[in-house]
Structure 1
Amino acid sequence: EFDRVLFDFNKYLCLDMFVEYFDEDFIKFMTVKLENHGIIKEFFEVNILLFIFAELSSKQICSILRRLNSNNESFDSFGPYLVYNGEEILFVFKWMEFDKWNNEEMLWIDFLLSIGCNVEIFAFNQPNTILSRFINKFKENTIKLELFDFEDEVLDDQEFPKFKKVDKFTIDDFNQLKDEMEILSQEDNENLLIKVNGKEVNFEDIYDVFLCTLEKEENCLSKDYCCNYENFKSTDFPCRYVMEEFNCAFTSKDNFGQITDEGIWEFNKDALENKFYELVKTMRICPFFDYMENKKALTKNSRNVNPKTYRKWCFIDEDGHFWYFFRKMWFNEEANIKFPGFSKMVGVKKTDYELRSKAVAIIDENIDKIKKGKIIEFKSTQKSLFDF
């Protein structure tokens, strides 16, 4: 209903946006071209608009416009053509010989396919290896699921119970995966050993990953769902589930790194990789998980961190408070500006900008007193990390 209202009352705004984002490529509906298909009607801009609305559904139009608005992007960076071949509307992309497409282009194509648009790609002199990798980006992963159960009889001298294989099958269709997971969720898995692609996994863990995948599929979402949070805020990983796992606190207590005397957090890359490999075992249940892309993102996000110059991160002290550096001063989430020193810092985490903004607002309200040195600490009911 919302799409219909948006569609009916904003037709001409839609036209303006199409012209803005497609620029001259939008006017591919030229009379000369259309005459090749026996269409001799002169097409002005409004005629073009009405023609598009006749060929594309209101849901498709609104989805495209929403993505353009929310993502603050245009098609200009990789130049698609909106064309008519005599039978249908097509989005045509040219992939020139020396061009290198990044994730943005692939997400746009996946998005257009997910809303039922027709897409054609003309690749000029691209090697077969590159074309194969590109095509694989739009394929679902094949999943080998193996189930084992306890042997009927366990001998007294056996140190560990033996398992017998119950089933082994390959899943290359999401509906099949959905059926199997629903069956497993209704059964008692206490005596069941589960392997995904040869790796032993816990059912609760793979079921959490499955629910994430299920939300994407049941809502017919594109891979934007995987790569972005709300309002198309990009994640640091091409998988929101992995992002959430690596968006937690990293502390020296958990051996994820240490802080130098200069205030630099040095990651223990081995510990991070071990965490990633353990997570990958369960992520394999997702047909859309891209191991290599997430591995690259891990490498990129495991560089040493200096929260003083890299505001995306903040320190955690031994009492669980978060310390930010802004406007040439340190302060925590309670607006306390008495920094205890690097020796009291035990870890780092990604900055919660909403929490930081609240602290900044408190400091701004009391800036005069702070300048006079009358306030260095504020009372707050805000709970710290270790209060939970």
Structure 2
Amino acid sequence: MITEKFIQAERVNTLNGKAKYVLDAKELFVEQLAQKIYEKEGFMSLWSENDYWWTIFSLLFWDVIFAKIDGAWTPEFGEFPSQYQDIPQDFFSDKFYETRKSLFDNKIKELSHSDIKQRLENSYKENFQRPCRPIENWHKFSIEELLVAVEKIENDRLLKIMERLAKDFNNNRAGMPDLFVYSENDCFFAEVKGEKDKISKRQILWHSFLSDELDFKVEIFMVNKNEKQSNAKTKSKQVKISFGKSTSKKREEAIAFIKKQPTFKQFRGNGDDIYSATFDVCDIENLYAVLDCTSGWKSQKIEVDGETLKSTNLRDSLYCFRQKEKEKKSMDYCLTNEWDGKKNKFQCRNFYFRELENDFWDNYGYVNTQKEEWIFDKKAIQKEVEKQINRLSLCPLFNEEQILSLVQNIPETINPKTNNKWGFIDNNRNIWFWKNQKWHSQWSDDSFPGVSMMIGVKKLEKNDIQYSSSYKISTSKNVDELADESVDIGKKDWYKTWWGILLIIFSIIILFKIL
């Protein structure tokens, strides 16, 4: 449940730019103001923000985070963790969780059957002051403060918070509410906002996760704002449904149901009684109840912003949102694919555009064989995107801006010979990439058949290159490293350059002085 709290307080501008507010003759930051007001209401609170939860996560999963996995640490640098490697090398990548998924799964099961309070205390004593990047300041939270969340939150809910951090620490490390508020028998989260503050996208995702999936109360504490200025609630469309005469057996049921709605209206039209009500699309089950009762009726009419829609179009637009609500999932549901649970770049699992999703373009453009480049058909791409946006526009969680930003980043052309992060797709769906002034094939040793046999382009992945028998590479290299390699094999070695020669001479002079 997400609630809102509106407070008025005198604002005092300070020299460092961060505003303060007056309460009981004291000047307080906005978070401190909220803490004092909650204290007056009988609650205690921690100004936790993000690093409080980073610390708990690091302590409970220390051995998983610092597991000595190949590629995650450098043995030559000594201990792990240490001041030279205080974090796994893949910590901020998708591979961090993927590589350790089994370890995280096992640790979560272990902790769910353990005394987490004791585990946290032990880890704190064993690891205090050891280098660990997520714990920026070991003195910011005492062990007593860290134990508050463990004592107030049930194990399964606490571990769900930890799991969300583990799955995508790079994106999920930010956005946690400012305060953790608690009393003897209750606890909730509070997001504190001053006059000019807005709720970020990452905060919205955390609020959704905590409220929708874990059933926490998340209170948006707003200072010197009113309801019109709030951006805490999801903005959604209003759908007007009306119906008249019908021979359906469900007609009386439909009339009885729609009369219970607060927006119910009845009027005469074309000689018949017309019954109507307006629904917020977030009121999804009541909306579907009317749709189901009046399904197939000739007199059924659906309007959104004055535009008449078919029932099938409305259902298609809201199907995914309804599934999310039924399963009581957070907005993370929208960000992942239904078939594999991985993140999708559209932030919508119901948006389909294969070429854009996979960076595999054998459509919406053509290969210019003379210039040896792929030319995008921007008009066709825009038309398809607009079609998809119109289809999903009624979903209150649909992020149109995310889709449009992806389209804007599509270049006019791609030449795989000069942009070696891309390769050609030939008529047999084989991938060809340009390295060391030569075309190499993904699977075949055959010579390059010519640009006239190319039908598209694909953004290269590690697998596209590492299996090439004509271009042997180390599987430990990533695609970005390969893409940054110079294609000029005639480039001189460093010691043959003028600055290399000067460096050698300088080193010899220093050596003679030492001797």
TM-score by length of 2: 0.48
In the TM superposition, residue 208 of structure 1 has moved relative to its aligned partner by: 4.8
Q: Which residue of the other structure, out of 428, 433, 440, is the alignment partner of 1:325?
A: 433
Aligned pair in 2 of structure 1 residues 192, 75: CA closer, same or farther (>3 Å)?
closer
Q: Which residue of 1 aligns with 2:324?
A: 216
Distance (Å, rounded) in 2 between the aligned partners of 1:50 and 1:112:
19
Cα deviation code 1:84-115 (max 9, x no counterpart): 35464343445578888653333223322322
Q: Secondary structure at the match of 1:73?
A: helix
Distance 1:123 1:89 in 2: 19
Match of 1:141 among 236, 241, 260: 236
SS in 2 for 1:276: helix
Correspondence for 2:218: 119
CA 1:127/1:77 → structure 2, altered by over 3 Å: closer, same or farther? farther
Match for residue 349 of structure 2? 240
| Unaligned residue ranges in structure 2 (runs of 5+) | 1-105, 245-271, 474-515
Distance 2:120 2:171 in 1: 14
Evaluate the alpha carbon distance shift between residue 269 and residue 93 of structure 1 in structure 2; reply closer, same or farther with a 3 A threshold: same
Distance (whole Å) between structure 2 residues aligned to residue 190 and residue 343 of structure 1: 55
- Distance in 2, matches of 1:127 and 1:296, equals 31
Cross-structure match for 1:72: 169
Matches within 5 A, 1:294-305: 294-304=402-412
How far residue 237 of structure 1 moved from its aligned partner, in angstroms, is 2.0
118-127 or 70-79: which moved more?
A: 118-127
- Contact 2:175–2:202 (CA under 8 A) maintained in structure 1: no
1:228 deviates by 3.4
1:110 aligns with 2:205: no
SS at match of 1:235: coil
Larger radius of gyration: 2
8 Å Cα contact 1:307-1:325 kept in structure 2: no
Which amino acid is the alignment partner of residue 363 of structure 1? S
Cα distance in 1 for partners of 2:452, 2:112 equals 59
Structure 1 residue 66: Cα displacement: 0.7
The letter for the 2-side match of 1:83 is F
CA RMSD of aligned residues (A): 5.0
- Tell me the distance in 2 between the aligned counterparts of 1:315 and 1:169: 55
1:174 corresponds to which residue? Answer: 284
Please report how far the alpha carbon of residue 365 of structure 1 lies from its aligned counterpart in structure 2 after TM superposition.
9.9
User: What is the aligned counterpart of 1:267 among 354, 363, 376?
Assistant: 376
Q: Structure 1 residues 274, 178: CA separation in 2 closer, same or farther (over 3 Å shift)?
A: same
SS in 1 for 2:113: helix
Closer, same or farther: CA 121–167 of 1 in aligned 2, 3 Å: closer
CA shift in 2, pair 1:320/1:274, >3 Å: farther
Letter in 2 for 1:9: S
The normalised TM-score by structure 1 is 0.61
AA at the equivalent of 1:53: V
Partners in 1 of 2:154 and 2:168 — Cα distance? 21
SS at match of 1:240: coil
Q: 1:339 to 1:91 in 2, by over 3 A?
A: farther
Task: Kindly provide the CA deviation profile for residues 155-193 of structure 1, in whole angstroms up to 9, marking residues without a partner as x.
Answer: xxxxxxxxx9x9865331122244356557xx5699999
Give the superposition deviation at 1:141: 1.6
Relative to structure 2, which stretch is displaced further, 67-76 or 332-341?
Answer: 332-341
Amino acid at match of 1:242: F
**Change in 2 beyond 3 A, CA 1:193/1:123:** closer
Tell me the CA shift for residue 332 of structure 1: 5.3
Quote the sequence identity (%): 22
Which residue of structure 1 aligns with residue 386 of structure 2? 277
Q: Deviations over 1:304-347 (max 9, x none)?
A: 35373767765443x35152537556555544664334333333
Question: What is the distance in 2 between the residues matched to 1:25 and 1:100?
Answer: 30
Distance 1:213 1:283, change over 3 A: same
Query: What 5-or-longer segments of structure 1 have no aligned partner?
Result: 29-43, 150-163, 369-388
Task: Give, in whole Å, the separation in 2 of the partners of 1:105 and 1:86.
Answer: 24
The 8 Å contact of residues 258 and 265 in structure 1, kept in 2 or not, is answered as: yes
Q: What is the total number of aligned residue pairs between the two structures?
A: 323
1:63 equivalent in structure 2: 160
Q: CA deviation at 1:350?
A: 6.2
